[in-house]
Amino acid sequence: MNTAASHPSRARAATAARRLAPILFLLLGVIGAGVFAAPSAFADGEGAVGVPAAAASATPADLATRVADLEAYITNGAPKALTSPGPGHNAWIDGMMNGVWNAKASIKAIDFAGGTVVHMSSGWSALILCLILGKRAGFGRRAFYPHSLVLTMIGTGMLWVGWYGFNAGSAVAADGIAAGAFMATTLATAVASVVWPGIEWVTRGKPTVLGFCSGAVAGLVVVTPASGFVTASGAVIIGVLAGAVPYVACTKLKSAFGYDDALDTFGVHGVGGTLGALVTGFLATADANPNLNTNLAGIVGKTLWIEQLKAMGLTVAMAVAGTTIIAMAVKAVLGLRPEAEGEEDGLDLLDHGEAGYHLDEPGHLASASEHGAAPASDGAESAILQAEK
């Protein structure tokens, strides 16, 4: 296992770097946000300021329980700060992939709210990172259950509501295009949230709450690039595809190739984002967004999907190349994974000296003390013991 603890010089470098990690993470965020915040990014119909944060938030799910804080800052923040702005600039500002507003674009693609910029780039980056990082301890030999389906359901609801800020908000106006994006997002997500558990019901005998939540997120992902460009019927088609294709990616593709995609970031965001970018090329229509007639009247409904393929290829190439270079550099200098013992105990204890839950209070208190956590006060400990009684 490639760890900093195995090499004294690497351990010293890691210690010094950890002190600078918050500053590094902040700078990476500023770099990404600065590129996206260019004034020309927000012509009526495409663009979103919060994209660097969204892209960065999607990737680390693939690395759950395997990467300590510093390494996560770098391997997650750096690829997104350095690779997301590229597709973002090209897709939304007057770049080479902005078919809506740039008449001289070499790739006349469209992306309303971030299918290529956020979901494809983060999903493909996550796949590369989980391959470089390796599988979790015990992967394939023991079950890894969801932490809390209650919190999963709550989080899904929050995500669904918040997603309107990206999709409808990317119109940057309170107009018909924003209303259409809101409608398309709602329909596609609702349909996908039924299709995924519906497939579970047919193939496994029972629909699940986790399937509902997974379908909803997949629907949000797939409709994102198309949200301001499709009609209601197009949104329903997207919902059906979003519930089915990522389901296959998460349940069949992952097991077939054996990669450890902890929270199905690649299956939902990578595959879903790629699917969304492609179907946008087939379903986009000027009936939903008249801006498509500005520079794309000759290819909408005809060969737009070919332009989408070009944009998808460029996005994947940038994400894969940038992530590979950064991850391998971090692995060589700092190492990517903690020691096996620290990974088994949990990174909350290893990095912060505290645990999120104390199901076995005496054992957790002892383990937390070993990792430098402050002991609980007598009053807190007494309260816990009384509750157990």
Which residue, among 379, 102, 139, 362, has the nearest Cα to 259 in the 3D structure? 139
Per-residue pLDDT tens, the chain, 389 aa: give them.
Answer: 444 445 556 555 555 555 555 555 455 544 444 443 333 333 334 444 444 444 444 544 445 555 555 545 454 555 555 544 445 445 555 568 888 988 888 999 999 998 888 899 889 999 998 899 888 877 778 878 888 899 999 999 999 999 999 899 999 899 999 999 999 999 999 999 999 999 999 999 999 999 999 999 999 999 999 999 999 999 999 999 999 999 999 999 998 999 998 889 999 999 999 999 999 999 999 999 999 999 999 999 999 999 999 999 999 999 899 889 988 988 888 777 777 777 777 777 777 778 777 776 555 445 555 555 444 444 444 433 344 43
In angstroms, the CA 127 to CA 269 distance is 10
Residue pair 368/349 in contact by the 8 Å Cβ criterion:
yes
- Give 30's contacts (C-beta < 8 A, 6+ positions apart): none
Whole-number Å distance between alpha carbons of 314 and 83: 11
How high is the pLDDT of residue 231? 97
Sign of CA dihedral 26, 32, 35, 40: negative
How many angstroms from the chain centroid is the CA of residue 84?
A: 12
**Which is nearest to 291 in space by CA: 50, 49, 116, 112?**
112
Alpha-carbon distance of 123 to 60, in angstroms, equals 10
d(CA 218, CA 211): 10
Rounded CA separation 234/244 (Å): 16
Dihedral of CA atoms 163, 166, 168, 172 in degrees, nearest 10, equals: 160
**Domain 4-340, CATH among 3.40.920.10, 1.10.3430.10, 3.40.50.300, 3.40.1280.10:** 1.10.3430.10
**Per-residue pLDDT at 117:** 84
Q: Rounded CA gap, 6 and 335, in Å? A: 9
- Confidence (pLDDT) at 352: 73
Please name the residues in contact with 285: beta carbons below 8 A apart, sequence gap of 6 or more: 229, 230, 231, 234, 292, 300, 301
pLDDT the model gives residue 146: 80
φ, ψ for residue 262, nearest 5 deg: -55, -50
> How would you write 152-216 as a 3-class SS string?
HHHHHHHHHHHHHHHHHHHHCCCCHHHHHHHHHHHHHHHHHHHHHHHHHHHHHCCCCHHHHHHHH
Q: What is the pTM of this model?
A: 0.76
Q: Could you tell me the residue ranges of all domains in the chain?
A: 4-340, 356-388
pLDDT at residue 12 in the model: 59
Q: Of 13, 58, 38, whose CA–CA distance to 332 is shortest?
A: 13
